[in-house]
Structure 1
Amino acid sequence: MTESQDLAAFVEAAKLDDASPEAVEQLKIRVLDTVGVAIGALDAEPIVAIRGLLEDLGGTEQSTLIGGGKTTPERAAFFNSALSRYLDFMDAYLAKGETNHPSDNFGAVLAAAESVGASGKDLLTAFAVAYQVHTRLSDVAPVRAKGFDHTTQGAFAAGASAAKALGLPADQIANALAIAGTANVALRVTRTGNLSHWKGLAYPHVSKEGTWAALLASRGITGPEEVFEGNKGFKESVSGPFEIDWSKEDLESVKRTIIKKHNAEIHSQSALDAAQEIRAQEGFNVDNIEKIHLTTFDVAYSIIGGGEEGDKQLIRTKEEADHSLPWMLAVVLLDGQLNPEQYEPSRIVADDVQTLMKKIEITPSDEFSDRFPDHMPADLEVTLTDGTVFKASQDSYLGFHDNPLDWDNARKKFDALVTPFTDEALREEIATIIHELDSRQVSELTEALAKVSTARS
């Protein structure tokens, strides 16, 4: 058997009953969190533009768009994944050499599952597969240092999980993941320098293409059998050598993922907690700040701190702001929080935050880097003009491995995000369906999601 066939055999055999109760509960929490951040983005400018395009294009009404309307599965996968990705408020997985967001696959799984009348249990199983494939490939085959985006491994996860949601047999699953993985090797320039809308749309594209690959495979279209190990295949051309025995994999990787507390790039979370701690200390006055120094780990410095992926001082847009650690620290010190409202265009370019971020210096620490990703260490020091120094250190946050989000706290985040677009009865309906998803139908969830307003009340 080829490696893609080994992976496909794992995907075909996956059963939710084989997952631990803790993993199933965390899957449901991830669905709630993903749906919440998706609804919270419904009125974002790029999302409105994409909905308008889909309405103009039309398409057979097979899969639901959150906020109402239906289209083809691959287009629904793109739109719903764009929603869940746009705010950059979703979950994450931290491997030593790679960071990704497995919940990005939910749009593909939801659209594919609905199109075939699947059960909620089927959806959760496919979603668990997406987590396992995405995280494990990131463990053994990181590609960021080689100049490729994390969506590259995600293409295999999207193709495999969409095929699982469609109920395809192993041979067609192998073809789906091979097509998606071959065709979607993406450049890391997506997240370097000054960021564009594509930062938030790169994975929705993969979600769409993974769904399309699964649909093609369902009609007998084949993909490269040796996509991983073959001549000019993934290992030779992209990742380098790696080994993984899919026959020994389970469905527990969701427990190794983390959920964001702040609406910010994942590596900033502990530093932003430190900023909140300093802001609450007696005698602190944000108007009298002389300088700010953050010590962090190398990945945070490289991606959002002004390291190898570009200077983070020119901030004009939402995409640039949520990937600039100086801007995020400044706005938290000023406002006390970082939620969607901080990304209003006028707040992003406001003089106070733009001035304060210029006072921030960020340096990486070898010691902190060695502790990552098991820990997320951050030491923050703020000096006032009179010489007073405020310090705070954080190693974790609510939502990290050692302090995982439970259903009640996940519900608080969900309610805060969706309240502008729903009434109390609809919030309760959606949350209840998700918590009971293993005994519900996907159609029940999509019918509820179609009732969400696309405009804030």
Structure 2
Amino acid sequence: MSEVMDRLTSFITRTQFNDLPEDVIHETKRVLLDSIGCALPGHAVERGKIAIGFAKKLGGSSGTTRSTIIGTKDKVCPANAAFADGELINTLDFDALSRAGLHDTPTVISAPLTQAEAVGASGKDLILATALAFEISGRIKLAAPGGYAASPEQGGKILFPEVGGNSPATLGGAAGAGKLLKLNQGKMGFAIAIAGYICPPNTLEQVGHSVRPVRMTKYTPPGWGAHTAVSSAMLADMGYTGDTSLFDGDFGFWRYTGALKGQWNTEKVVDGLGKSWFVQINYKQYPAGLCIAGALDKFIQIIGENDIRPEEIEHVTLQPHPRVQFHGEAKLVTHDDYSFNPVYLLTCAAHRLAPTDWHEEHVRQDVKIQKYMRWLTPKVSIAPWDEIEKDFALAKLEDPRTYQQRCEVVAKGKTFRGVARHPKGGWWAEDLRNTDEELVKKFVGNASKVLSSDKVNKAAQTIMQLEKLGNTAELLNILAP
């Protein structure tokens, strides 16, 4: 076992619930609440239905080690439940992102959740395993910086990564599942190593440049990441071995997941372990890409503060993230097309619809909504890409943590402008972080589409007091209709 893997696995296996800082415990409960809430309305969407059906078809429902698919009474083996849960959480694109900028939450949440129920773990055990899963995922991701950095030498240019994605989430999920299986240090190293060899590839960048319609795979199917994570931990528990020099050498994990030579810093995987934690979450306010969230924040603020009615809008210019292509006039074919269509998102916002209703079938097919979209389409434009990139880059030179976006609305004979340095719900801007009350409200809006009001309230209370829960299975029972 390499030195880095030795230090990493030693930390995972020796850390106990009482070692977690209070803010880490609290944030872990918040992201569990948000993620489970996002999974529940996924049942009504084709991708969610397929995920549940596929998990059941794979089987594994015999024996005592079974896990419940979120929002059902169906029990399957933990890996198959993790697949379904991971897909459900991500189906509406309403799920949170981690500090590392990863779409890792569906994988990192699902692997420990399903394993916790299978072994009869307590709420404290689940919190600990989930916090560790986020920790490992985030550290591995940031050891190979692939973010959207600005180039001081080129002024208004962004240094885009050639490859990006969520592969580290699978390794984090394996660590979390392994913690619940009580793997010793040697087997924990094997679990992470196995996950590193069979994790999904980093395909995030392809989505930003691919044509519509948006397919269900999107930036990587998180269900497979979660399935792989649980499988890796179970295999290690049974004695299957893996390459624990995974992070070392010229052909290590960094290379086959897309980092450039010279970028990977192995020491970042273990630097400050137990002192600084990575459970720092960016919560989404809308079932849409974070790449347009800041612009939507400002659009909603502008029309609200100035009492602009939908029919009074003359023109909207959006300045989203510079890496993503938006197809405002493209035909909406798949469910995911709506998440990336600025006209549809603006239409929902202009009509003051609750974001938890944006992906309801009756909303998407509403004659009034469809008519308004046709009327609004020629009135919406995306700022020139060179301007977007320059503005984004200059903001990052000033503060590398920014995710700057803009929105301009022409209405009532006036022009209104707004600049979002960070999207609401993001971690880095303290004044924009979601309160517990806001996250509970989002959870209620999502969960009420599947559960009774009594169950919704009981589920929210149980998750926010998760450390008091004796057996995780109790929570899954509450979440079943």
Q: Do the aligned partners of 2:318 and 2:406 also contact (CA within 8 Å) in 1?
A: yes
Distance 1:274 1:337, change over 3 A: farther
Match of 2:150 in 1: none
Q: After the TM superposition, which residues 153-302 of structure 1 pair with which residues of structure 2 at under 5 Å, given as runs? A: 153-184=168-199, 185-188=201-204, 189-190=206-207, 192-193=209-210, 194=212, 195-199=214-218, 202-237=221-256, 238-239=258-259, 240=261, 241-243=264-266, 244=268, 246=270, 248-250=272-274, 253-282=277-306, 284-296=308-320, 300-302=321-323
Q: How does 1:30-69 map to 2 (within 5 A)?
A: 30-61=31-62, 62-66=66-70, 67-69=72-74
Task: Give the counterpart letter for 1:209 in structure 2.
Answer: T
Q: 1:109 aligns with which of 109, 112, 117?
A: 112
> Deviation at 1:126?
0.8
One-letter amino acid of the structure 2 residue matched with residue 394 of structure 1: A
CA contact (8 A) 2:108 2:130 kept: yes
Counterpart amino acid of 1:392? G
Distance in 2, Cα, partners of 1:211 & 1:301? 35
Q: Taking structure 1 as reference, are residues 283 and 124 closer, same or farther at Cα in structure 2, changes over 3 Å only?
A: closer
Structure 1: gaps spanning 5 or more residues: 453-457
Q: 5 Å matches for 1:412-431?
A: 412-431=441-460
Give the 3 Å change call, closer, same or farther, for CA 7–147 of structure 1 in structure 2. Answer: same
Pairwise CA distance, 1:373: 5.6
Aligned-residue offset at 1:56:
3.3
Given the superposition, is the C-alpha separation of residues 437 and 82 from structure 1 closer, same or farther in structure 2, using an over 3 Å criterion? same
CA distance in 2, matches of 1:90, 1:293: 26
The normalised TM-score by structure 2 is 0.83
Is residue 387 of structure 2 the alignment partner of residue 361 of structure 1?
no
Q: In 2 relative to 1, CA 329–49 (structure 1 residues): closer, same or farther, beyond 3 Å?
A: same
In the aligned structure 1, how far is the partner of 2:161 from the partner of 2:404? 26
2:282·2:425 contact (CA, 8 Å) conserved in 1?
Answer: yes
The match for 2:125 among 104, 122, 125 is 122
SS in 1 for 2:416: strand
Seq. identity, %: 21
* Gap change, CA 1:280 and 1:11, over 3 Å in 2: same
Residue of structure 2 aligned with 1:139, choices 137, 142, 154: 142
* Corresponding residue pairs, total: 440
| Paired position in structure 1 for 2:350 | 333
With normalisation by structure 1, the TM-score equals 0.87
What is the CA deviation profile of residues 225-284 of structure 1, one whole-angstrom value per residue up to 9, with x for unaligned ones? 211113522234432321325263127535522211222212322211111122224463
Q: Which residue of 2 aligns with 1:388?
A: 414
Amino acid at match of 2:35: T
Ranges in structure 2 where 5+ consecutive residues have no aligned partner: 148-159
Q: 1:434: which partner in 2?
A: 463
Name the counterpart of 2:426.
Answer: 400
Partner AA of 2:167 in structure 1: T
SS class of match (2:302): helix
Change (3 A) 1:38 1:371: farther
Closer, same or farther: CA 157–177 of 1 in aligned 2, 3 Å? same
Code of the residue aligned with 2:68 in structure 1: it is T
